[in-house]
Amino acid sequence: MTDNLNRRKFLRGSAVAGAAALATPAIADGHGTTLKMQAAWGGGIFLENAQSFAARVNEMSGGSLTIEVLSVDAVVKTSQMQDAVHRGVLDAAHYVPAYWYGKSKAASLFGTGPCFGWSSQEVLGWVYAGGGQELFDELMAELRLNVVSFFNSPMPAQPMGWFKEQITDASQMEGLKYRTVGLAADVLLEMGMSVVQLPGGEIQPAMKSGLIDAAEFNNPTSDRDFGMQDVSKHYHLASFHQSQEFFEVTINKDKFNALSDDHKAIIKNASMAENSGFYWGNTKRYSDDLLKLQEADGVNVYRTPDSVMAAQLAAWDKVTARIAEDDPFFAKVMESQKAYAKDVMNYLNLNQPDYKLAYNHYFG
């Protein structure tokens, strides 16, 4: 199949799945329980990840609990997914907290917040072992949202993205029309950029038409599927704008509470198991597709200059201080994260050898 056909399939939603979702009850008959989970993804590797999580639940339950994955926009728009789960229109959703941070900027702290020297692995550690889940549940209660959420799939740091020319200094970022989402939008605005928030499928056409000058989505595999290599040949890896993200699986609270204890435990443990499955599988795919971008598509790949990343950290400080001053809960979450990161990263930084030193020893 050609790249163009693959790309059209990737960008296309599933109208058939949407029609089936509207025609079929969310909770199935005596053969078992079915939860319908709409994903924020129309195809590509992230939809595969949502399907992988569902497959774990289905296998672990022996078929007594089934999660049926619906493609993007099958029932509601991505921006409406959380409200749809809250109201019971959807049983569940698979997306990222940055997609609903308009309700509370604290949402972005759960995966797309400032980098305190940690990666998404350690942020998930904070969620599971450092009080993060409890703080998230407190946020749901404060917002009066009838949902429960599980977090999984630690993503590698997102690339700075695609530009019309190589970026060698932070001054080149001034005034650029750039696509991102979540709290990162505030950070890049602080750096002097003009930020446009667009869904994934609209990024490549927007850059092609000149609506935006530069963009990021998430990773080399998705970027290649979107066809970013056709509108830019300058790809910058490494950035602090979204350096520790992961998925959120959110479920209607009433429907979750109605499940058996066994089914609740299966969902929780399938989510934890997906952490490893995602990281192992996606990291390999990303590295393979980065080579394809370079060798097959003629893309120039650079590491984002330190001056840009230093400017990002300075912008994060200003943005988070401003929000924390007006939002005590935001400040509370951030202080909890800092306490966890300070201790955990102190140990890891002291203990971890310099893996780059070993890499260069063998591969140059």
The answer to whether residue 337 sits within a structural domain is no
The answer to whether residue 104 sits within a structural domain is yes
The answer to whether residue 164 sits within a structural domain is no
The model's pLDDT over 164-193, given as tens digits with 9 standing for 90+, comes to: 999 999 999 999 999 988 889 999 999 999
The answer to whether residue 268 sits within a structural domain is yes
CATH number at residue 125: 3.40.190.170
Exposure of 175 by Cβ count < 10 A (0-12 exposed, 13-18 middle, 19+ buried)?
exposed
349, pLDDT greater than 50: yes
What pLDDT score does 201 carry?
82
Q: What is the pTM of this model?
A: 0.89
Mean pLDDT of 296-302: 98
Confidence of residue 31 (pLDDT cuts 50, 70, 90): low
The model's pLDDT over 195-206, given as tens digits with 9 standing for 90+, comes to: 988 878 889 999
Share of the chain above pLDDT 90, in %: 85
Confidence of residue 245 (pLDDT cuts 50, 70, 90): very high
The answer to whether residue 42 sits within a structural domain is yes
Q: Helix or strand or coil: residue 231?
A: coil
The answer to whether residue 218 sits within a structural domain is no
What pLDDT score does 4 carry?
41
What pLDDT score does 338 carry?
98
Distances (CA, A) of 340 to 38, 105, 266, 336, 344: 33, 20, 28, 6, 6
Please list, residue by residue across 236-259, b when 16 or more beta carbons sit within 10 angstroms of its beta carbon and e when fewer do: bbbbbbbbbbbbbbbbbbebbeeb
The answer to whether residue 267 sits within a structural domain is yes
Confidence of residue 27 (pLDDT cuts 50, 70, 90): very low
CA–CA distance, 134 with 208 (Å, rounded to integer): 43
What pLDDT score does 169 carry?
93
Which residue intervals of 144-260 are DSSP H helices?
184-190, 203-209, 220-226, 253-257
Domain that holds residue 62: 3-156+244-285
25, pLDDT greater than 90: no
What region, left, alpha or beta, does residue 243 occupy, with left being phi > 0 and alpha being psi -120 to 50 degrees? alpha
358, pLDDT greater than 80: yes
Q: Provide the number of structural domains found in the chain.
A: 1
Exposure of 102 by Cβ count < 10 A (0-12 exposed, 13-18 middle, 19+ buried)?
exposed
The answer to whether residue 222 sits within a structural domain is no
Mean pLDDT of 303-314: 96
Mean pLDDT of 289-309: 97
The DSSP call for residue 46 is H
Which residues have CB under 8 Å from 93's CB, separation 6+?
37, 38, 39, 40, 81, 82, 84, 85, 248, 249, 250
Question: Mean pLDDT of all residues in the chain?
Answer: 91
